[in-house]
């Protein structure tokens, strides 16, 4: 009988067959990528649903989603590479994301920056767009984290807690620390490392965060409030769970960069939330906020149609100006060429007949004078 790949000893769960993907012909598709793609699609669909309920134009979130997803993948890779340069012996290895190496904070930074510029171009509120999108992003993270489970990676150090997870040592995909080697267990002659299932902690937290954000959205008093709750809520979990992980990205040899960033985000998000609430309670600030937009407000279908019409009219006007100027210029050029081709009257050659008559008249005049 084949030995289990994953064991949860205190929960009585054993998993014997756990592939990390499937093949179509010679092409290998990882479950990690499939789960991330499912999460991203759901995030866009949820954002579109929320946009429709608040009288926003849902198609905006298709455009924001497509560009942000591309930029988030680039950002996730860059973040990982910057703090793991020593792992790469060749420049071209940096582009091989199929071998792993994506960091969630880099993805968030890249995606949020892309969303900001798309919103600027579309002349809609960036903060409102983020408030609309972040619940779906939390759900996408909850789903995507299970890709680490299939890859048997992104786990924590040794634990003997209720949720302790044993991974067959020969199939462990993450970093095996000295602590894990010292506490290795043997089950039926097979060696296992016993770890914190950090992917499970983060997935459960992000699912809870998704539910909370969906419930409190109507209680928001100003644009950007839901975004702040998301950033602060996620960063709390990441600051804690990052301390368990064995594959931390570090500044130097000692400082976990994602943990440090998480602490900074928690502090900033909750300070801003507190200050804004105090301003509202003290009546020193009355935010002009509407949960459901009125027709014609920035972000609605009517506003988009009006903006599109203005841009179309502007382009048409520019084209007509160009065409008229070009036509006038062509006529002026043609007239100048015609004028240049016509010789001046004083430069015309003399007609022979006229010259003979003038000579005869001059001769007669001379005879008369004599």
Closest to 214 measured CA to CA, from 282, 92, 91, 132: 132
Token digits for 65? 């989603």
Q: Is 182 helix (H, G, I), strand (E, B) or coil?
A: helix
Token digits for 142? 């909850």
* Exposure class string for 254-293: b at 16+ Cβ within 10 A, else e: eebbbbebbeebbeebbeebeebeeeeeeeeeeeeeeeeb
Whether residue 115 contacts residue 129, with contact meaning beta carbons closer than 8 Å, is answered with: yes
pTM for the model? 0.83
Q: What is the pLDDT of residues 101-138, one digit of tens each?
A: 889 999 999 999 999 999 999 999 999 999 999 999 99
Whether residue 110 contacts residue 71, with contact meaning beta carbons closer than 8 Å, is answered with: yes
pLDDT band at 97 (very low <50, low <70, confident <90, very high): confident
Is pLDDT at 351 greater than 80 in this prediction? no
Instruction: Report the C-alpha gap between 139 and 207 in whole angstroms.
Output: 6
Closest to 227 measured CA to CA, from 134, 334, 113: 134
287 contact partners, CB below 8 Å, separation of at least 6: 221, 222, 223, 280
Give the Cβ contact number of residue 110 at 10 Å. Answer: 22
Q: Which one has a higher pLDDT value, 84 or 181?
A: 181
Q: What is the pLDDT of residues 139-185, one digit of tens each?
A: 999 999 999 999 999 999 999 999 999 999 999 998 999 999 999 99
Is pLDDT at 334 greater than 60 in this prediction? no
Structure confidence at residue 198 (pLDDT): 96
């Amino acid at each position: 009988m084949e030995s289990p790949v994953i064991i949860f000893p205190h929960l009585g769960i054993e998993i014997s067959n756990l592939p990390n993907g499937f093949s179509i012909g010679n092409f290998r598709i990882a479950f990690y990528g499939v789960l991330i793609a499912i999460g991203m699609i759901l995030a866009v669909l949820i954002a579109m649903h929320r946009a429709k309920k608040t009288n926003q134009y849902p198609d905006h979130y298709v455009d924001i989603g497509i560009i942000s997803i591309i930029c988030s993948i680039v950002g996730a890779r860059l973040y990982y590479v910057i703090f793991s340069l020593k792992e790469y012996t060749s420049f071209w290895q940096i582009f091989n994301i199929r071998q792993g190496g994506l960091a969630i904070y880099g993805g968030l930074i890249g995606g949020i920056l892309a969303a900001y510029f798309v919103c600027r171009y579309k002349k809609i509120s960036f903060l409102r767009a983020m408030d609309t999108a972040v619940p779906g992003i939390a759900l996408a993270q909850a789903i995507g984290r299970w890709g680490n489970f299939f890859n048997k990676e992104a786990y924590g150090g040794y634990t003997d807690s209720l949720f302790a997870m044993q991974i067959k040592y020969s199939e462990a995909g993450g970093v095996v620390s000295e602590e894990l080697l010292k506490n290795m267990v043997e089950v039926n002659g097979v060696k296992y490392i016993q770890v914190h299932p950090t992917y499970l902690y983060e997935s459960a937290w992000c699912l809870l965060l998704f539910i909370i954000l969906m419930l409190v959205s109507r209680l928001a008093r100003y644009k950007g409030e839901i975004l702040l709750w998301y950033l602060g809520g996620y960063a709390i979990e990441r600051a804690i769970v990052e301390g368990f992980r064995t594959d931390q990205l570090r500044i130097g040899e000692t400082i976990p960069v994602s943990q440090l960033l998480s602490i900074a985000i928690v502090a900033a998000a909750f300070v801003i939330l507190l200050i804004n609430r105090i301003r509202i309670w003290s009546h020193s600030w009355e935010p002009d906020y509407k949960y459901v937009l009125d027709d014609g407000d920035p972000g609605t279908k009517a506003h988009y149609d009006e903006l599109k019409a203005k841009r179309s009219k502007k382009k048409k006007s520019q084209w007509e100006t160009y065409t008229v100027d070009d036509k006038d210029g062509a006529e002026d050029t043609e007239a100048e060429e015609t004028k240049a081709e016509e010789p001046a009257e004083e430069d015309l050659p003399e007609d022979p007949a006229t010259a003979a008559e003038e000579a005869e008249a001059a001769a007669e005049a001379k005879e008369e004078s004599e």
